[in-house]
Every structure is written in C-alpha cells, then in structure tokens.
Chain A
C-alpha cells in the first residue's frame, strides 16, 4: 500500500491576515456606527465632549480671531501706505502752490507800491480750540487762548468748514488764558461786507435762529442765490477778503424799501466751530 501523499498547503506569509484585521475591523465598526441607531448615546457623548473641548474651541477661535485681526491690520497698513503716498503728492502740490502764491504776493506788493495803495498784509494769528459753549447762548463760544497769546478784544476769528476758511466771529472778551468769541449768527454781531458779483457793500448782521442778513444793499443791485459774500475793506475790525458765506435769498417782504436785504448762509456754521484761527494785530490793518 502506497503511502498517502499529503496535499501541498497554500503558503501564506505570517502577519498577512493580521495586517488586514485592523483596517477591516475599524471599517466595519464605522459602518456599524453609520447604520445603528445611536442617537441617545451620541448625544450624551456630544454633551460630555462639549465640556471637555471648551478650552480648545476657545483657543482655536482666539487663533482665528487673531489671524483675522492680522489681515485687518495689514489691510489698514496698506491703506495707510496708499494714503501716505497721496498725501505726499498733495504736500508737493501745496508746496508748488505756496511758491506760486509767494511770487504772486511779491508781484502784488510791487504793484501796490507802484499804485501807491495801502498794502494788505498777511494774516498772523493763533489757532485755538473751542473750550466751552454757553448752553443758553449757542452763538457764543469760549476758546482756550487769551491775552497771554496775544489775543485782544475785537480780533477777527476765522474757522475751517468743508475745507474752506470762513468768517467765524469776533473776540468780545479776553482773559489771560481764554477769550469769548461772538459768532456770526449772534444778534449782536455785525460786519461790513460786499457781494462778489457787483462789489456792492452792505452791513452783515446776525439774527439768532433766523438767517443772517446783509442790510443796505443798493435797491437795483442784481443779486442771485449762491453769490459769495466777503468782508469789506471798510470794516474796522475784519481784514478784507474773508469769505463770509453765500447768498441764500433776497427778502421781499418789506414794502417801501429803499435798500435790499439779502439772506446769507454762513460758510462756518455755529454748531460746527471746533478750532478757530484768531487774527492778531488787527489783521494787518495797522
């Protein structure tokens, strides 16, 4: 009897099966998690995890917030850089204009001398901030500079609004460190002014809450809305040529009138006055 031959067994590498056990078991487990109803268990674990991971969530959101702030800061820096370049160009332009103005002033001085006119001198003065407003008198402000800075009573005061300078008022009281300024709208304010179109002069008077008016304009003067109004050279207080405002209308309610009364919208509004320039030395009139 021949010995029975053993059938050859298929050779398998040790560990080959084991290598597949882990991934297959995890895949099977996750598959079971997907198909089995685990709502209650999952919600309980979620609730626990929500507590456990609070510091991490905060840290992650803090990091994200910091990154957002960085991008915001970079954007602001880039904007500032762009703005800086534009401002540098503007400064160059201003320097150019200043040098042109210098030459025009020189020319003006020569012509004034030739024509034997009284020369208009440049304004010199001090900038001051509005320190206080009287609640009962909105058309009067107190500024933070006084006689120590050279401010005298009846000094003209101008201010900037919308990038343009305009007449703001006049100094009426001075202490060592403060001064009281009567604004254009105040009922006690008055100034000699002229209309740019026809050079007709009149008297500008404030009237509280009502529009500012120019009285004594010759009757047949052609006045239009939007005409500019400047301080006149005949004024004893204000230097000539300060922009006061624009004509906003002509009053036609007065019968038997011998002169026109014109309403003016001031260039500088009382409520907008924050910083002012006080012209010293009577505006170069002396």
Chain B
C-alpha cells in the first residue's frame, strides 16, 4: 500500500517536472521529455511487473494531452521500457554515465519513433526538428541522474524494487 502511494507521488512529481521543463525549455525550442526519464528510472529500479505498467501509464498520460493520435506515447514508452529491461543485464544503472547515455538514446529514438507513428497512423508530420530533438535529448540526459536518484531514493527499498 505504502509503495503504491510512493508510486503515485512519483508519478505526480514526474508530470509536474515534465510540464515545468517543457515550458522552460520550449523558450529555446528544445523538446525535453522528462517523463520519459522518469519512465526509464521506474524500469531501472522496479520489477518488470511494475515497471512496464508505469511506463505505459506515463505514455498514456501524455497521450491524453495529444490531439491527433492516441496511444502513440504509450507505445513509445513501452518500447523504451523493453529497451531499459534489456539493457539492465549489461548496464549498471547505479552509475551515472549509463543513465545519461540510456536516457539520451531513448529520448532521441522516442522522438523519432513518435514521428514515425504520427506519419504512419495520422499522416501528419510531427517531426520536432533535428536540433530541437538533439538538444532536448541532451538536456533530458543531463537531468536523468537526478531523476534516477529520486526514484531510487523513494522506491529503492520497497517490495516493488528489483534489488529487494
């Protein structure tokens, strides 16, 4: 029960951080995706039975604020969760460089995948621009260690954690 409360708290925090960062960095035209960093951190810290639904929910949350297509972010975030669980055998997500590299790659590839989904299902060009995506990925990657630290700090010792 307490773990569920913690998860809800982290989810709410993720939405606030995502909106705040999106508002701030849109001034410089950067498409920052902090909620994806949170989803990656959930998958790095939590068991798959909890990590996949959390990533899916994070994506679904973004989908509710989209207009042209529904489910694309949920799809992208689930793919991102698959990547994180696949990498967790090879990467040590306790170290900062793997966290940053993973989040950078996921943000960039997530943007590409999203654009492809839009193009495929909605026949719409939603490409944010190469430099916008690259800059946004760099910024997200820079803040990723803080996100991972926060998620680990809150969820690290609960029953849903992989380390227990």
- Residues in chain A within 8 A of chain B (CB atoms): 19, 22-23, 26-27, 29-35, 38, 42, 45-46, 49, 53, 56-57, 59-61, 63-64, 67-68
Distance, CA A49 to CA B61, complexed state (A): 9
Most chain B CB within 10 A, of A30, A49, A60, is at A30
B49 CB within 8 Å of chain A: yes
Which of A30, A45, A49, A56 meets B74, CB within 8 Å? A30
Number of chain B interface residues as a range = 20 to 34
Secondary structure dominating the interface of A: helix
Asked if A59 contacts B49 (CB within 8 A), the reply is no
Query: Is B20 within 8 A of A63, CB to CB?
Result: yes
B159 in contact (CB, < 8 A): no
**Is B78 a contact partner of A59 (Cβ separation < 8 A)?**
no
B117 touches A34 (CB 8 A): yes
Return chain A residues, CB-CB under 8 Å to B59.
Answer: 30
> What sequence of 0s and 1s flags, for each residue 1-42 of chain B, a beta carbon within 8 Å of any chain A beta carbon?
000000000001001111110011001000000000000000
Rounded to whole angstroms, the CA-CA distance of A45 and B15 in the bound complex is 17
Is B23 a contact partner of A56 (Cβ separation < 8 A)? no
When the two chains form their complex, are residues B16 and A56 in contact, meaning their CB atoms are under 8 A apart? Answer: yes
Chain B residue nearest to A41 in the complex (CB): B70
Hey, which chain B residues are within 8 Å of A42, CB to CB? Answer: 64, 70
28 sample A-B contacts, Cβ–Cβ < 8 Å, listed by A number: A22-B48, A26-B55, A26-B78, A26-B81, A27-B75, A27-B79, A27-B82, A30-B56, A30-B59, A30-B72, A30-B74, A30-B78, A32-B71, A33-B70, A33-B75, A34-B71, A34-B117, A35-B121, A46-B64, A46-B65, A56-B19, A59-B20, A60-B15, A60-B16, A60-B17, A61-B23, A63-B20, A64-B20
> Would you call A56 and B12 a contact (CB within 8 A)?
yes
Q: Which of B49, B60, B64, B121 counts the most chain A CB atoms within 10 A? A: B64
B57 — nearest CB in chain A belongs to which residue?
A26
A152 to B52 CA separation, bound complex (whole angstroms)? 89
- B22 to chain A minimum Cβ distance, whole angstroms, is 8
